[in-house]
Amino acid sequence: MLKSEEVRRQVAQRLRELLPKAKGWQENADTKIGGQMADLLAKFQLAGQEHTLVVEVSSLGQPRQIRAAVTRLNEIRRELPGAHPVAAAIYIGPQSARILKSNNLGFVDLSGNCYLAFENVLIEKEGKRNVRPSTRPLRSLFAPRATRVVRVLLIEPGRAWRLEELGKAAAVSLGHSHNVVKRLEELAWAVRNDDQRIRLSKPADLLEAWCESYTYRANEITSYLAPERVTRKFMGEVARVAAGEGRRYAFTLNAGAALLVPSLRLPAVHCYLEGDPGPVAQALGLRPAAETDGTLHFLGPYDPGVLHGAFEKGGLKVVCLPQLYADLMHYERRGSEQAEHLRREAMGY
């Protein structure tokens, strides 16, 4: 798959081809507009008028990535009301095209599809097939060990990593971290600077793609009925016993979110716990229960990387923010709503 700089270069060329009468064409990459970074800013004159195109480039033009691009482009439009926002990708299919049109946004892809509508300009071409379909599924990028690298990158999205540092932080081999980074570069979600350090260029796209392939139910869930109402005091008891047993633990889902936003209700407690939950449950006086009846649920991590980056809040361990977001996205009790609140208020991408 093309790297991000090459996708951006070809998108700019495609725009010039679609607007052959444009004069004084100027291009700027990675331009900060308000709180967003525009991948490409193109200024030109057409029929005596000045125009500005603000382009958001996404390696994948799938609906989930396009919805995220819509959010960012709408924010840019509020900052630059005279500009014309455009989404770009290698391929934008019919569903993604409908999403963009319904939001009055233009689009262009490298497969021949486009929609540009501003002032006296209307250029529309649809129905072209993807000229560069990916032959490698994303599944390999989100295999258990691979997500260790993904998680480390998402915890510090602005950091530039040496490959050795990244592998060590993620507890994977140099070869494994190389393979993950190579795939991220192919998807234009990661880039290298002049020192060959690796950083994420599209953390939001990576996070959303991970959430599409992951559910908290990938972890083994063991449920119990607590002898008392679940409160933060009860969570403290869970943490005390787990630590006393020498176990790593971290709260997630409602429990993790409630530690960050104290006003949230706490209908049940979900807690990652390494090892057999039996001794901890026995020390707490818990009775086994069906998941639907349980008030405390221990999650056996599907991979040790789940607990990487866990941090303290109010003296209790919470999973890292990307893990908490990914867990919440498919949680039945208003999880996606809490996830978006978390992302908006605490994650920054």
Residue 314 φ/ψ region, left for φ over 0, alpha for ψ in the -120 to 50 degree band, beta for the rest: left
- Provide φ and ψ at 294, rounded to 5°: -70, 150
State how far the alpha carbon of 79 is from the alpha carbons of 40, 65, 76, 84, 217, in Å.
15, 22, 5, 12, 40
Sign of the Cα torsion 21, 24, 29, 30 reads: negative
Structure tokens at 183: 């795939």
3-state secondary structure of 294: coil
Burial class of residue 114 (count of CB atoms within 10 Å of its CB; 0-12, 13-18, 19+): buried
pLDDT of residue 326: 96
Please check whether residue 10 is in contact with residue 1, taking contact to mean a CB–CB distance below 8 angstroms. no
What stretch of H or E contains 107? Answer: strand 106-109
pTM as predicted: 0.67
Q: Are 141 and 184 in contact (CB under 8 A)?
A: yes
Nearby residues of 159 by Cβ (< 8 Å), 6 or more positions away: 199
Residue ranges for the chain with pLDDT beneath 50: 1, 135
What H or E segment, with its residue span, contains residue 311?
Answer: strand 311-313
At residue 35, the pLDDT reads 82
How is residue 127 written in tokens?
């129905």
pLDDT tens per residue across span 2-13: 566 788 899 999
User: What does the buried/exposed string (b/e) look like for 233-272 if buried means 16 or more CB atoms within 10 Å of the residue's CB?
Assistant: ebbeebbebbeeeebbbbbbbbbbbbbbeeebebebbbbb
